[in-house]
Amino acid sequence: MSTDKLIASLPAGACRSRGEGIYSIMARTPLGDVSAEKLNIINSVVQDFHLPGVRVTGRQRVQLLGIKEEDLQAVVERLGQVGEVCKYFVQACVGNTACRFGMQNSLAMGADLEAFLNTTNLPAKLKSGVSGCSMSCAESYVRDVGMVGKKSGWTILFGGNAGKQVRKADVLAESVSAEEGLKIIGKALDFYSENAKKKERTARFVERVGFEAVRKAVFDR
């Protein structure tokens, strides 16, 4: 298979080139989870293909660097499912599974959110973060979709962005259950999908249409 065809067959963003026939591949590490089995696979690929190493990205992903073009197909095959990046992945903190401040199980919530998001097809890139408490270690307030755990349930955030035009997300709902939270996010994303311009991120969308329009679409339709 040609390199172009191989890259086209991978999920968007899974394989990147810095030019000169050198590529990198993003391993699949859902919610920052890297099991011993995955570490072994990644480590064996790094050693066998003499890669310079891996990089842990700011969004809890593991990127294998320095892959030569002639090795790309073999690396993809060796990585198997570990190399299968999903379309919309979720950043999450450990929440009450391992943090003393955690009010909710952000890992379980993040897994449910990720499964839900990957049933959708959105107009632009979507970043999301699920935090177990208001310290917001998963950066929920500057994500397109954010969730923050409180004793009473989840705060649902929409329209945040941490890029060069930083925007703090608006609060769509407070103290809702996990199930309600997903429904609210689904309705907000439906409205966004129906009305956003191509490649318009949620932050710019909310600025253009106004947060009240999003709120009405979620609660008054």
Sheet order of strands, 170-176 included? 90-92, 128-131, 145-150, 153-158, 170-176
Residue 146 makes contact with ligand SF4 by CB under 6 A? no
DSSP state, residue 205: H
Smallest distance from ligand SF4 to CB 28, Å = 22
Smallest gap from residue 143 Cβ to ligand SF4 (A): 13
Residue 22: is it exposed, middle or buried by C-beta count within 10 angstroms (0-12/13-18/19+)?
middle
Name which of 94 and 217 has its Cβ closer to ligand SF4. Answer: 94
* Residue 1 interacts with ligand SF4 (CB under 6 A): yes or no: no
Provide, rounded to whole angstroms, the least separation between the CB of residue 135 and ligand SF4. Answer: 4
Query: Which residue of 136, 155, 161, 202 would you call a contact of ligand SF4, by CB under 6 A?
Result: 136
Closest to 163 in 3D by CA, of 184, 187, 144, 189: 144
Among 95, 110, 123, 129, which residue sits at the site for ligand SF4 (rule: CB under 6 A)?
Answer: 95
Dig out the tokens for 63 from the structure.
Answer: 């990127």
DSSP code of 95?
G
Does position 160 interact with ligand SF4 (CB under 6 A)? The reply is no
Residue 96 C-beta: closest distance to ligand SF4, Å: 7
CB 144 within 8 A of CB 158: yes
Determine which residue in the list 86, 99, 124, 178 makes contact with ligand SF4, applying CB under 6 A.
Answer: 99
Return the range that interacts with ligand SF4 (CB under 6 A); candidates 44-52, 54-62, 99-107, 151-159. 99-107
User: Does 132 interact with ligand SF4 (rule: CB under 6 A)?
Assistant: yes
Candidate residues 135, 175, 177, 210; the one interacting with ligand SF4 per rule CB under 6 A: 135
CA–centroid distance for 49 within its chain = 28
| C-alpha–C-alpha distance, residues 27 and 40, integer Å | 13
Give the shortest CB-204-to-ligand SF4 separation in angstroms: 27
Residue 170 CB burial class (10 angstroms; 0-12, 13-18, ≥19):
buried
Per-residue x/- mask for ligand SF4, residues 176 to 215, rule CB under 6 A?
Answer: ----------------------------------------
Residue 137 lies near ligand SF4 (rule: CB under 6 A): yes
Count residues binding ligand SF4 (CB under 6 A): 12
- How far apart, in whole angstroms, are the C-alpha atoms of residue 131 and residue 148? 5
Q: Is 108 left (phi over 0), alpha (psi -120 to 50) or beta?
A: alpha
Instruction: Point out which residues bind ligand SF4 (CB under 6 A).
Output: 93-95, 99, 101-102, 131-133, 135-137
